[in-house]
Amino acid sequence: MRAKEPGAGRPGTVVARAAEAAARGLPALVLGLVLIGLWEAAIRLFHVSPFIVPAPSAILVTLGRDFGQLMLAAFVTAKEVLLGFLLSGLVGVAIALLIARFGLLGRALYPLIVLFQTVPKVALAPIFILWFGYELAPKILLIVVIAFFPVTLNMLAGLESVDPSLIALMRSVGASRNDIMRRVQIPQALPHLMSGLKIAITFSVIGAIVGEFAGASAGLGYMIQFASTQLDTALVFASLVVVSVVGVIFFYLVEWAERLAVPWAPKFDPLNRS
């Protein structure tokens, strides 16, 4: 039975961790408040029309007025993002493993994947709507084609970053190609994979909104389009705020998963930068 670390569970430790978490978020909070204050002042000083750019106070009022609708729309978009992200992660990892494991297939497949990534995804959205209708499927498919590539690319980088001498050592003890991949390459690739997943989750939010722009009856993308047709610029900005919050929440959930899955990987620490 492992002994508890000294100080674990003590109130002082909890307070210290809370203070550290607050210190991490304080610079961003201060900068955000300053920018919002400057934005509000500029709107009032230059008498900018609310149809062009609403003041932060008007956006806040709209958030309160339409909070229920925005939360329902956020739930729809969040479901699309989550399902599309999970599927894009699975597809990205599977393609990377195929390319790394089978050399001839990898040489044939990789250029086609790169070529496919050059296709504008906005152009694919109406095609997917035409094929699969206005329900969940076209949005998820669009998220997958947008978000799988950074997962594949980072996973491949991790699989190929293994020290050749370590692979030679594994071969010298009779390890098969599958053994080397399972015991050496995949563990080595996990930090790279998590980096790819953090990029993919941001792409997933973009993919969900683009899919809803192409055709939807619910979701934050639909809210943005509806508000623009009503010339309700404050509601457009309020929807963008909610989209941003959804994206930030998903990003930090992936980062939290990274800290659990690969605690040995280097992390960005704003408190201890040189």
Read off the pLDDT of each residue in 254-271 and give the average, rounded to a whole number: 78
Q: Confirm if 147 and 88 have CB atoms less than 8 A apart.
A: yes
**Domains of the chain by residue range:** 1-47, 56-261
State how far the Cα of 18 lies from the Cα of 14, in Å rounded to an integer: 6
Which residue is associated with the tokens 């404050």?
234
* CA of residue 230 relative to chain centroid, distance: 30
The fraction of the chain above a pLDDT of 70, given in percent, is 90
Q: What is the pLDDT of residues 17-66, one digit of tens each?
A: 667 766 777 787 888 899 999 998 999 888 888 888 899 999 999 999 99
Tokens for 261, please give them.
């899955």
Q: What is the pLDDT of residues 151-182, one digit of tens each?
A: 999 999 988 888 788 888 888 887 788 888 88
Tokens for 87, please give them.
């599927």
- What pLDDT score was predicted for residue 235? 94
**Number of neighbouring beta carbons within 10 Å of residue 79:** 15
**Number of neighbouring beta carbons within 10 Å of residue 8:** 9
State how far the Cα of 241 lies from the Cα of 62, in Å rounded to an integer: 11
**Number of neighbouring beta carbons within 10 Å of residue 127:** 13
Q: What is the pLDDT of residues 99-139, one digit of tens each?
A: 888 878 778 888 888 888 888 888 888 888 888 888 888 99
- What pLDDT score was predicted for residue 113? 85
* CA of residue 140 relative to chain centroid, distance: 14
- What pLDDT score was predicted for residue 4? 47
Architecture of the domain whose range is 56-261: Orthogonal Bundle (1.10)
245 by Cβ neighbours in 10 Å (0-12 / 13-18 / 19+) ranks as exposed
pTM, full prediction: 0.85
Read off the pLDDT of each residue in 192-218 and give the average, rounded to a whole number: 91
**Number of neighbouring beta carbons within 10 Å of residue 98:** 13
Mean pLDDT of the chain: 85
